[in-house]
A = this chain, B = another copy of it.
Amino acid sequence: MTQTNNNMTVNPDLAMERAKCNFNVLEVTHIFDGGERNTLQRKKIEDVALNSGASKDALGEEHMSPKEKYENAVRKSCIYATMMKNELAELSGLESFGVSSPVIRRTADAFFKEVSPFLLHLGMFVPTIMGQCTPEQQSYWLPRALDMQIIGTYAQTELGHGTFIRGLETTATYDPETEEFVLHSPTLSSYKWWAGGLGKTVNYCIVVAQLYTKGECHGTHPFIVQIRDEDTHVPLPGIKVGEIGPKMGFNTADNGFLGFDHYRIPREHMLMKNAQVLKDGTYVKVARHGKLTYGTMVFVRVVLVNEVAFNLAKASTIAVRYSAIRRQSKPKPDEVEPQILDYVTQQHKLFIAIATAHALQLCSTWLWESFSAVLAQMKGGNTDTLPEFHALSSCLKAISTSDSAHLIEQCRHACGGHGYMISSGIPNLYNFVSATRTYEGDYTVLLLQTARFLVKAYEQAEAKKPLTPTVSYLAHAFSGSRATWDNSPDGIIRSFQALAAGKTAVCVTNMRKRMRAGLSQVDAWEMSTIQLVAAAEAHCRAVIADTYRKEIVRLTANSSPNVKVVMDQLTTLYLYYWALERTGDLLMFTSVSQKDLVDLQIAYEELLLKIRPNAVGLVDAFDLRDELLHSTLGSYDGRVYERLMEEALKSPMNKEPVSDAYSKYLRPMMKGKL
């Protein structure tokens, strides 16, 4: 399947794995693409984008300096953007998230091992123009931005402020005399910092600044700011802009800094959909922009959840295929060395990665579809479920990025030493996903936001008020008895809910106790934050487990029997795995016994063995072309050792038999002449 090259020589172990796979791989591919039609269209897009070979580098970026990496990424971004405009635009009308279509992103991942310097142009600059400009502003900016006559980014975070947006220091002070805003960076810590593409690429930028007019501060607002000359690309007077230096990943994205020295922009460059400053300096609030911005935020998080699921799919594909090829040790002296995939500890590391990639992808789609329905309601004025979606998207973003980063590392560990090679592809995946754990909302901060919602919902349940769907289980927290353990999938999901309810109840009890002992509400909350984070995690785990299970049942309703079986095995695996990771909570908040847990462990081990024969088939079903994997260990043909050696021989260090460092440094020292 997947690769159509019939002349390919496939590693015999991999070929054997494919022969013994007992389900229809393509059927599973269709499930996760959202139907056969989508699969066909995706493949067409991938053919157009990748078959020319334009995504490939003559010299791998891993051999370059950061500066060379950047220049190479710009080169490819321009090719890719042109391709998007010409060939791909009309092909990409898929049922998905529009500009950030996962399908389009797949092809981009083939071009960029890290990311494109244009990432925030399409990802933030254009959406902000669409979301925060008046119609007149849009008609001016949008065509130029979409045609890439101008390239922009989004600069909010400052050197000294990230999470706490109200603390931003950059000022935009309105001057009615000239009808301009004066942008200024009063301190070093007020410099904008981190925006992707800002360093060297973009000539425009959305800048978030504290708006002052008539001597009064109205909080942060967005402005569109030209920072470089449209012809020469030289930074304009009053602008200090540059690149922030090397990072763990994202080194092709020229993240930048930006400072203003009383830099003037026209009044009309404030994005005025939600608030305006009139010519005379009068501030007018147009919309309740607090609630409306939820939309973009939830959207960005949905995309992130989808993205980390996709990267986890890559890591598990690499690690499972490699584990089918790699052989090690001789537990039985008379037999050949087993494939490492036969070791139960290896299965324990890898199969949860496959299941999690499935779970998160389905959660991301489910969240988007549910949220779209909510947005439709909102147009009718009903904003009741917004807090629930905010809470849900917060914890899903936190847990999905954290779980994925952890599991990608687990996949790397499962590849032993070779996983440490950049050419394995896994280090880049980790560096990328690891960043998503922090940006667009730090893990701990987001879970505390969810916890705040949980505690409120708990208080509503206590007062016997109605609850929104994802927290309706909290009502059972007041039954007075422990949840009954039952090891069926639905039983485990109910236990996960009981556990989230129990942990929330403990937090509330502790906070009330602390307040009775004299702490303020703020301090009592603060002292309980470790447990609140844990309660939010438990809530999120229950939601993921429930959603994953329900979606699989729904999506496999018409599947062939063996597909049903293997999909059921993976959802069960996810439930067993997390139940066994949370034995303490289960013992505290459900009726589970020590014997139940010992039995569950055995059942888990036996489940691993059942999944084992289909493991390669399962990762094949992700249908990831070699161009996307960038991996010596994970390619479809399994030529692992050949590729490792081929890649090594490409290293510029191997161009000459003797390094220049020998005559310069080594020889003099060895001959005692240094």
Chain B's closest residue to A329 (CB) is B164
Contact B641 A189 (CB under 8 A): yes
User: Pick the contact of A257 from B148, B531, B648 — CB < 8 Å?
Assistant: B648
Judge if A58 is at the interface, Cβ distance under 8 Å.
Answer: no
Binds B, one of A300-308, A435-443, A551-559: A435-443
| Selected contact of A244 from candidates B75, B421, B601, CB within 8 Å | B421
Q: Are A166 and B653 within 8 A (Cβ)? A: no
Contact partner, A243, options B526, B588, B654, Cβ 8 Å: B654
Say yes or no: A78-B669 contact (C-beta < 8 A), given A444-B345, A584-B586, A654-B243: yes
Considering only CB atoms, which chain B residue lies closest to A335 in the complex? B522
Smallest distance from the beta carbon of A592 to chain B beta carbons, Å? Answer: 10
Q: With A and B bound together, what is the CA distance between A344 and B523 in angstroms? A: 10
Which residue of chain B is the closest to A190 with respect to CB atoms? B641
For A649, give its contact among B82, B242, B413, B528 (CB under 8 Å).
Answer: B242
Per-residue B-contact encoding for A633-674, CB less than 8 Å = 1, 0 else:
000000001101101111111100111111011111111101
Give chain B nearest CB distance to A143 CB in angstroms.
13
Nearest opposing residue in chain B for A414, CB measure: B444
**Stretch of A98-106, A155-163, A314-322, A467-475 that contacts chain B:** A155-163
Which residues of chain B are within 8 angstroms of A328 by Cβ–Cβ distance? 161-164, 167
Which residues of B lie under 8 Å from residue A417 when comparing CB positions?
A: 157, 162, 194, 438-439
Q: A248-B422, A416-B163, A533-B345 are in contact. Are A661 and B329 (CB under 8 A)?
A: no
Q: In the complex the two chains form, is B666's CB within 8 Å of A74's CB? A: yes
Separation of A397 and B444 alpha carbons in the complex (Å): 30
Given A439-B417, A583-B585, check contact A645 B191 (CB 8 Å). yes
Asked if A66 and B63 sit within 8 Å, CB to CB, the answer is yes
**Distance from A80 Cβ to chain B, minimum over Cβ atoms (Å):** 10
Asked if A8 CB lies within 8 Å of chain B CBs, one says: no
Complex contact A160–B421 (CB within 8 A)? no
Q: Bits for A276-317, please: 1 = Cβ < 8 Å to B, else 0.
A: 000000000000000000000000000000000000000000
What's the Cα separation between A148 and B670 when bound, in Å?
A: 6
Task: Find chain B residues with CB under 8 A from A248 CB.
Answer: 420, 422, 427
Q: Is A35 an interface residue (CB 8 A)?
A: no
Measured CA separation A510–B62 after assembly (Å): 47
Count of interface residues, chain A, beta-carbon cutoff 8 Å:
136
Q: Which residue of B lies closest to A325 (CB)?
A: B160
Complexed CA–CA distance, A167 and B328 (Å) = 8
The listed residue (B74, B246, B249) touching A659 by CB distance below 8 A is B74
Q: Which chain B residue has the least Cβ–Cβ distance from A514?
A: B602
Contact of A597 with B by CB under 8 A: yes
- Using a CB-CB cutoff of 8 Å, which residues 417-459 of chain A contact chain B? 417, 419-423, 427, 434-435, 437-439, 442-444, 448
Pick the contact of A245 from B416, B506, B648, B660 — CB < 8 Å?
A: B648
| A669 → B minimal CB distance (Å) | 4
A657: chain B residues within 8 A (beta carbon): 234-235
Which residue of chain B has the shortest Cβ distance to A249 in the bound complex? B420
Chain B residues in 8 Å Cβ range of A598: 506, 510
Do A674 and B584 touch (CB < 8 A)? no
Interface assignment of A183: CB less than 8 Å from any CB of chain B:
no
Pick the contact of A654 from B149, B242, B531, B669 — CB < 8 Å?
B242
Closest Cβ–Cβ distance, residue A151 to chain B (whole Å):
7
A200 at the interface (CB under 8 A from B): yes
**A603 within 8 Å of B by Cβ?**
no
Quick check: is A254 within 8 A (CB to CB) of the other chain? yes
Interface status of A233 (Cβ within 8 A of chain B): yes
- Measured between C-beta atoms, what is the minimum distance from A74 to chain B in Å? 4
Instruction: List residues 376-423 of chain A with CB under 8 A from any CB of chain B.
Output: 409, 413, 416-417, 419-423
Q: Is A550 located at the chain interface by the 8 A CB criterion?
A: no
In the assembled complex, which residues on chain B have CB atoms less than 8 Å from the CB atom of A416?
A: 162-163, 438, 442
B246 engages A200 (CB within 8 Å):
no
Q: Which residues of B contact A419 (CB under 8 A)?
A: 438
Complex CA gap A651/B66 in Å reads 9
Per-residue CB contact flags for chain A residues 138-160 toward chain B (1 = under 8 Å, else 0) read 00000000011111000001011
* Chain B residue, CB-CB nearest to A144: B670
In the complex, which of the residues B337, B422, B651 contacts A164, with contact meaning CB atoms closer than 8 Å? B337
Q: Does A605 contact B (CB under 8 A)?
A: yes
- A666 with B586: CB separation less than 8 A: no
Closest to A160 in B: B641
Contact of A64 with B by CB under 8 A? yes
Q: Which residue of B lies closest to A228 (CB)?
A: B658
The docked-state distance in angstroms from the alpha carbon of A474 to that of B79 is 66
Closest 3 CB pairs of A and B: A583-B584, A584-B584, A74-B661
Excluding A64-B65, A160-B326, A530-B605, 17 further A-B contacts by CB distance (< 8 Å) are A63-B65, A67-B651, A74-B664, A74-B666, A77-B665, A81-B669, A149-B671, A164-B329, A167-B329, A194-B417, A199-B654, A242-B651, A245-B648, A247-B420, A345-B530, A416-B438, A531-B601
| CB<8 Å pairs between A and B, sample of 22 | A67-B651, A67-B653, A70-B659, A74-B665, A149-B671, A162-B416, A163-B329, A163-B416, A164-B329, A200-B659, A234-B658, A248-B420, A413-B443, A416-B438, A419-B438, A420-B438, A510-B602, A530-B601, A583-B583, A583-B588, A584-B584, A588-B597
